[in-house]
Structures are given as C-alpha cells and as structure tokens.
Amino acid sequence: MSSLRYLKTYNYPEELKLLEINKNSVFNKIDFEFNETIYKNNSTTNERVKNSKFFYYIIKKCLYKTKIDSPLQFNEKIRRKLIFEERKNLDFHYNSDGSYYTPWISNDFKLFLNFQKRIDKIWTSFHEDLLLNLVKEKKLNIQRNFLLELIKSNHPDALKLISLLKSMSDKEIKRGIYKEWEKLLFEYVSIKMGNKTKYNYLTDYNYFPSSCFFCGRDYFDFSPYIMGLCNVCDCLAFRSGFLKFKSKTEMLIDLKNLYDLLGYIPPAKEDYFGSKDFIEEFIYFSEDKKKQVLAYLIEILPYGIYKMVFSNWFTALVHSGILNQNARKTSRGTMCLSKDNHLCLSLAEKKIDDWLFDHKILHEKEPLYPKEKDLNPNGFFRADWKVDNSYIEFFGLKGQFDYDEKIKIKKMICKNKNIILIEIYENDLKDLSIKLGILKN
C-alpha cells in the first residue's frame, strides 16, 4: 500500500508528498555522501568507517536532513532494509506537525496504526501531564522515562494503559513487530514526541550527555530500561557484547559468584540478563549492588558458552558448587547427573545411564528421531538413548493420555524406519540386564 494513501488519510500538508516522490533521490544522496566520505582519504578514522557501512548509517545518517529540513528517524530494521537495497516496501509516517517523518516497513506501519488508535481512546490528561512534565526536565530519552514512571505509578489511568498494552501483546503483538508491550509504548510515545510545537522536543538544548555510574564515561542515554549506564557497559553486561577466553575453572567461579550475589539460580535462557524481567529487577537494586552485579555480568560468559563447554546448564551448576547435592527436584522427578556426566531428568534415567556406563556400552543421550512427513515432520522427537541402531526409551509416565500418544508415534516411526526400539518401564528397573543385556554383544 502506498504511503501517499496514509498522507491523504491523515491530512498531512500537500508539500510533504514531495518526500515520497523524491525518496529515491534522497537515498542516492546518502549513498553518494557515504562513498565520498570513506574514499576521500586513507586516514585511520576513515579506514574504520570503511570496515562497516552499517555503523556509518547509524552514526551519520540517522540525522540526515532533506531539502525541506525533515530529519529521517531510522530504527535498526529500517537501516538494514536501506543498506541491503530493500527499499521498495518502505512507507513514510509523518508526525502531526510535519516537522519530521519516519520510514516504516509497510506491514509494520499498518499494524502500528491499529494499535495507535486503540491507545488514543484511553489516553487521558494524566498521561499528557506526565509526558509534559518529563519534557520540562529536558531529559534526552523521554520515552524511557515515561515507561519507568508509568510502571511505578498506581494511578488508575496508568494501570488501565498498561493493562491494554499487555492484552494487545498477548493477543496480537506477538504476530507482528512488537513482542513486548513496553516496546509498543516506547514507539507510541516516540510518535507523540514528534509534535515539536506542543512538546518543544528534539531541540538542541535537550541534548546533553550523562555520566555512566559504572565506568564514568559521558554518553547519551538512549536505553529504554537502564538508567545511568552507557552503551558500552550495557552491551557488555546485558547483550554479551564481547567474549573473552576463560578456563573452565574461571567460568565456574564466575557463575558461583553471580549466584551468591543474586541469591537465586539464573534461568537456563540465552538472553535472560538482557530480558525485561531481569532489567526491571536490576533497576531497583541499590547503587552498590548494581555495580557488583554489573562487574560480574561484564566478566561472565553467556549461557550459550556454558552450554557448549559443559553440555548443559545443570552440569555447570553442579560443578560450580551451586547444587551441593548434585541434584534438583522438578515436576518430573529429580534432575541429576549420571556417572559419565549425562543430564538425567529422573533417578530412574540415571540408573539406566549408569548401567550402560558400567558395562562400557557407548551410548548417545537424547538422540533425535528421523524425520517423517506425517509422524515427525520437524524432527523434534527425541529418544532417551541410542546405541548403534537401537533406540532406548524409558516410558516412566505411561498412563497419561498425551504421553501415551507420543509413545504410539515413536513406535510407528521405529517400525517405518527399521529402528530397534528397546522399551523400559518401571518394573524393568529391578534388573536392567533383562532388557539391555542384548547390547553387550
């Protein structure tokens, strides 16, 4: 759908249509200036710019101004589309007073317009006053501060807005560009701030640096969650920004120290420390605790590295001394490690794995079943163990409907693929050699 249609719908000034008509020439000018800049001389600075066209756009072009003085406001998704020449699906959204415009990917724009209308209906004087007061404080990132003030407030209008945003997130946003309600609010307030006449925002006097409370360097605060932290420290602590070599012993010490400081075991998630759940918790730490946590987060390697080095998160927790009894109770049983450090989800699994180890039978833990068009199209089904062409399954939850259905599917896959399936049930645990003795040969 053409962005001209949006212009007509929202009754923007006619002269702004020129931006749509001339957008290709604007993009060409950006490319020309980029090439002129990096090839003008061979200084160290330009050599660094030459290595990353992406960062050139981020630093230089986000403030690019057209002939009618309307700066382009890029986000990362748009930058990537521009850089990789995928420009044909871009639409331009103009703020209410026509002072600047934002390029959107067409489907994203249509989705946001729907959300915007719903938020407009419950936007009250409470929200408006909160926004205007933040502007008077001349903070650089009004959107971030508005979000934080809204979360802290117990005002009925604040709770109503958050409730609406969460409901949209649960039902609709996950299908589109917004996976978290905070990001939708951030975008909505950004559009509001485009009205320079009303909010007197995006003017020179609003732009002043802050000082990072952790490292002390000056920076412009753009983070939607963190207060008082520069982008470098933010990246190192919460985005696994830079990896460094560490021995297994150092990795285990880092994990134990972080556990002692937080007081709980971090979840087995790749991006947990960059998630809104942890960051909202971090915001309310004392200044001393923030610095201590940041120091460990900057040093510790990300979850993915622990999983690669120790095979799984549980093994790392055991070897670090966090789980002193080498076990952890779950809804399915007691999670523990076998003699050969395989992760077992129950004591029964451990007994079977240990039997294989004691009898020197090479085995693979949790192998994937082969794909099959109707039964296992995505190849997600796993067995408990694999020995040569034999799959071993401990069916400990037999009797539950969903579980029994999976048993039937696995049996059918094995039959169709000529795989030997060794089925073990609770009664077989008394003497495993009856079922597994065949594997000795």
Residue by residue, pLDDT tens for the chain (441 residues) are 333 232 233 333 443 444 445 545 545 554 554 444 444 444 434 444 344 343 333 333 333 333 323 333 334 444 444 433 444 444 444 444 444 444 444 455 566 677 788 888 899 999 988 888 887 775 556 777 788 888 888 899 999 998 888 877 665 544 444 456 777 787 788 767 655 455 554 443 344 567 777 777 776 655 545 557 776 677 777 766 555 677 888 888 888 888 888 888 888 777 778 776 787 778 778 888 888 888 888 888 888 788 888 878 888 888 888 876 666 666 666 777 788 878 888 888 888 999 999 999 999 998 999 988 888 888 888 999 999 889 999 988 777 778 888 889 999 999 998 999 999 988 888 888 888 988 876
Q: Are 336 and 327 in contact (CB under 8 A)?
A: yes
Residues 6+ apart with CB under 8 A from 437: none
What is the model's pLDDT at position 168? 73
342 lies in a domain? yes
In a domain, 85, yes or no: yes
Strands (E), 207-292: 210-211, 218-219
* Residue 44 within a domain: yes
Residue 23 placed within a domain: yes
Q: What is the pLDDT of residue 183?
A: 72
Give this prediction's pTM.
0.44
SS3 203: coil
Total domains in the fold of the chain: 3
Task: Report pLDDT for 156.
Answer: 92
| Residue 395: half-sphere exposure toward Cβ, Cα within 13 Å | 20
pLDDT for 111: 64
Q: Give domain status of residue 382, yes or no.
A: yes
Closest C-alpha among 316, 306, 322 to residue 341: 316
Residue 223 inside a domain? The answer is: no
Rounded Cα–Cα distance for residues 360 and 13 (Å): 79
Question: In the prediction, which pLDDT does 49 show?
Answer: 38
Last residue of a domain, one of 74, 96, 111: 111
CATH code, 379? 3.40.960.10
**How many Cβ atoms from other residues are within 10 Å of residue 148's Cβ?**
17
> Percentage helix, strand, coil, to 5, in the chain?
55, 10, 35
Q: What is the model's pLDDT at position 39? A: 41
Q: Is residue 159 part of a domain?
A: no
Same domain flag for 361 and 432: yes
User: Residues 289, 347: one domain?
Assistant: no
**Reduced to 3 states, what is the DSSP secondary structure of residue 432?**
coil
Which stretches does DSSP call E strand in 226-273? none
Q: CA nearest 306: which of 268, 344, 262, 258? A: 268
Regarding whether 14 and 95 lie in a shared domain, the answer is: yes
Which of 111, 128, 149 is the last residue in one of the domains? 111
- Furthest-apart CA atoms within the chain: distance in Å: 85
Asked which of 111, 144, 163 is the last residue of a domain, the reply is 111
Are 66 and 15 within 8 A, CB to CB?
Answer: no
Residue partners of 129: CB distance under 8 A and separation at least 6? none
* Residue 3 belongs to some domain of the structure: yes
Number of Cα atoms under 13 Å in the Cβ half of residue 301: 20
**Residue-range definition of the domain harbouring residue 16:** 1-111
Q: In one letter, which amino acid is 372?
A: E
Q: Clarify whether residues 375 and 309 are in a common domain.
A: no
